């Protein structure tokens, strides 16, 4: 690959022939074929070969990638599929690009922007934006949960100041990304629970329960208004008794809430919401 890269700087055609010959010599080595395709694809973009020759070489590179897209090696297979999708988008062959994008696992490579581009050309900008809003909501919710977990881990390792800083960041995130307001209280409740501060826990549980009953007006956010209006309606109503029961069950069963069990004030609060 180093030699191929060096040759391509002087002559793309010479490097291309060199790559073809090496693939003929080792026709079953997926890692070699994928690597050659990657190097030559980058070199082709910068080369000064005429359009007809460029198209011919591009088609051969696509053929190589289609071979490695069937590789039993997962890393090579997924990378090849991703690269093929990008090439088909570049060639404005959106139907073919979509076929390969659908083959990329969500946990492998984030192809969201590529999928959005394909949707915009196939279905229109509004449909593409709807798809992207849904992905954004999912991503932001995941980040919120990551921050909650990070707060717990900082408390566990004794980095209490860091936990408080992350709690503040999480609180601001709720406002910035139009999330449900009760999420502003949760970070501080996690800290209070870890520190076994009964008075603070009860105060924050009251706030969480109160905020959870209010509607989540996601349609007012410029980030999700298409998605929410289409999928969920104008707003979510408060999560109501289901959330209250879930929180009460968690406090009853989880070891970290042991210090709150039997607290009469807390029982009265839950009974008020579960009438």
pLDDT tens profile 151-164 = 999 999 999 999 99
Per residue in 171-198, pLDDT (tens digit) is 999 989 988 888 899 999 999 999 999 9
* 17 vs 238, more confident: 17
Sign of CA dihedral 191, 195, 197, 198: positive
pLDDT at 34 over 70: yes
How crowded is residue 69: how many other Cβ atoms within 10 Å of its Cβ?
21
Average pLDDT score, the chain: 86
List beta partners, residue 236.
216
What pLDDT score was predicted for residue 108? 57
Above 90 in pLDDT, residue 33? Answer: yes
Tally Cβ neighbours within 10 Å of residue 8: 22
pLDDT at 147: 96
pLDDT at 275 over 70: no
Most confident of 48-57, 217-226, 239-248, 266-275: 48-57
């Amino acid at each position: 690959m180093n030699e191929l890269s060096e040759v391509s700087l002087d002559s793309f055609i010479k490097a291309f022939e060199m790559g073809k010959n090496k693939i003929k010599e080792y026709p079953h080595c997926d890692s070699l074929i994928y690597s050659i395709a990657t190097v030559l694809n980058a070199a082709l973009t910068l080369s000064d070969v005429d359009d007809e020759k460029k198209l011919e070489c591009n088609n051969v590179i696509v053929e190589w990638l289609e071979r490695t897209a069937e590789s039993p090696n997962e890393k090579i297979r997924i990378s090849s599929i991703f690269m093929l999708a990008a090439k088909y988008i570049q060639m404005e062959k959106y139907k073919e690009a979509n076929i390969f994008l659908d083959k990329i696992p969500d946990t492998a490579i984030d192809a969201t922007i590529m999928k959005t581009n394909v949707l915009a050309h196939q279905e229109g900008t509004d449909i593409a934006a709807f798809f992207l809003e849904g992905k954004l909501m999912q991503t932001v919710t995941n980040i919120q949960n990551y921050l909650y977990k990070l707060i717990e881990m900082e408390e566990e390792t004794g980095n209490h100041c860091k936990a408080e800083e992350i709690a503040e960041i999480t609180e601001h995130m709720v406002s910035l990304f139009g999330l449900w307001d009760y999420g502003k209280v949760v970070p501080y409740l996690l800290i209070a629970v870890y520190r076994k501060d009964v008075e603070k826990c009860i105060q924050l549980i009251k706030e969480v329960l109160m905020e959870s009953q209010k509607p989540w007006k996601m349609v007012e956010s410029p980030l999700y208004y298409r998605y929410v209006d289409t999928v969920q309606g104008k707003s979510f109503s408060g999560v109501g008794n289901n959330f209250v029961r879930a929180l009460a069950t968690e406090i009853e069963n989880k070891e970290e809430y042991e210090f709150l069990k039997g607290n009469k004030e807390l029982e009265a609060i839950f009974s008020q919401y579960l009438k």
